A and B are shown apart, each in its own frame.
Chain A
Amino acid sequence: MNIKTKLVIKYYMNKIWLFMMISGILVLLYTNPSQTLSTMISASTSTVELCINLCAVYAVWLGFIEIIEQSGLSNKLAKLLRPIIKKLFKIDNEEIEKMIALNLSANMLGLGNASTPMGIKAMKALDDKSGTASFPMIMLLILNTTSLQLLPTTIMGLRASSGSLSPSDIILPTIIASVFCITLSITLVKLCESIRNKKRKGET
């Protein structure tokens, strides 16, 4: 193991998953072994249900996205957002910029399900097959794991339906917290990238 692999914070989904599975099954073995398989199958069943729902939602959104694409509106949107995307992602590829523009604007409108297919496509296009996530990929992931949505419409709806007297009084704190989180995550990604670059330069 060289210094680089020790220093760079590594993250393997494989390890996290294995750890979750082993600890879950071990405890169940002690408390309630007969539930192990049924739990897994019921989780898988609910995933099938979720995926059928997702398939329906994606069909509508991907249909509209294709119309937006063919009408040339996505190019216009990408042009509009280009300065910001270029600055954040440091990429120069119109096709990918377009996908990212669609992904981010769907996120801002609160259409999480509409933004996912574009995000997956953008990620695929950004992949350099090296096995390591590049800076623009990490930036895209971080922007999608921080809520860009400024108006929490779903949560306001939930509040209203459970009898809240003022469902909208969470808007201001949510906006402040979201803006804070977005700023913090962009700063941290840029910071980590510059540290990584320095280390890389130091090694060669």
Chain B
Amino acid sequence: MSSIILPVIFIFLFIYCLFKKINTYDAFVKGAKSSIKLVIDIFPYIASIMIAVALLRVSGITQFLTKLLSPIFNFLGIPKELSEIVLLRPFTGSGSFALLEDVFLTYGPDSYISRCACVIMGCSETIFYVATVYFSQTKVKKLLYAIPIALVVSFVGVIVSCLLCKII
């Protein structure tokens, strides 16, 4: 069902443009051209955050933090098996998806832990990645309360997700 939505939208868009006599080819080329510049502009921001996260993971700091935090997580109803996902989710999308697949393999995709992990992934985003990329083209240095709110909401979301998976 969801796989036909996009092609249908594209067809409607092209038919609409046909009636409005718009040069779709010229427009597409113009848009596609801006993609290279955009990626070059955001590359250094992504690279620096990825390097920092990689150092934290290779040095074992994340595993250490995971061990340190899991009793607290357990108290809040978050399974300790998910501590690493919860910890890394704000930083890296690909990393947390790799961890999700690990959870599937270890505990089976239909277990309580896997369902929790799915809901956690589904209602959250890679906060630091989004923040660096979105603000990369601005002069903003102070984000005020933005990151704390994003982190708090995402953490409350984790607790709610685990609770919901127990009930539903």
Contacts and interface: CB of A to CB of B under 8 A. Distances in A.
Contacts of B132: 13
A119 B143 CA distance: 16
Contact of B61 (A23, A44, A173): A23
A100 to B, nearest CB: 12
Contact of B53 (A11, A43, A48, A50): A43
Interface residues of B, number: 89
Interface in B21-80: 22-24, 27-32, 34-36, 38-39, 42-43, 46-56, 58-61
A145 B142 contact: no
A10 interface: yes
Contact of B38 (A62, A70, A147, A184): A62
A40 B153 contact: no
B140 A127 contact: yes
Contact of B146 (A51, A120, A142): A142
A81 B104 CA distance: 39
Interface of B: 2, 5-6, 10, 13, 16-17, 20, 22-24, 27-32, 34-36, 38-39, 42-43, 46-56, 58-61, 94, 97, 100-101, 104-105, 109-110, 114-115, 118-119, 121-125, 127-128, 130-150, 152-154, 156-157, 160-161, 164-165, 168
A155 B35 CA distance: 27
Interface string A59-72: 11011111111111
Contact of B161 (A62, A144, A177): A177
A175 to B, nearest CB: 9
A36 B55 contact: yes
A23 B58 CA distance: 12
Most-contacted residue by chain B among A16, A124, A141 (CB, 10 A): A141
A61 B60 CA distance: 38
Contacts, number: 305
Interface residues of A, number: 100
Contact of A178 (B58, B104, B123, B145): B123
The prevalent SS among residues of A at the interface is helix
A116 B137 CA distance: 12
Given A152-B122, A162-B105, A24 B140 contact: no
Interface string A119-130: 111011011011
Contacts of A69: 27
5 contacts: A35-B58, A48-B43, A141-B131, A144-B134, A170-B119
Contact of B50 (A46, A63, A151, A172): A46
A81 B137 CA distance: 25
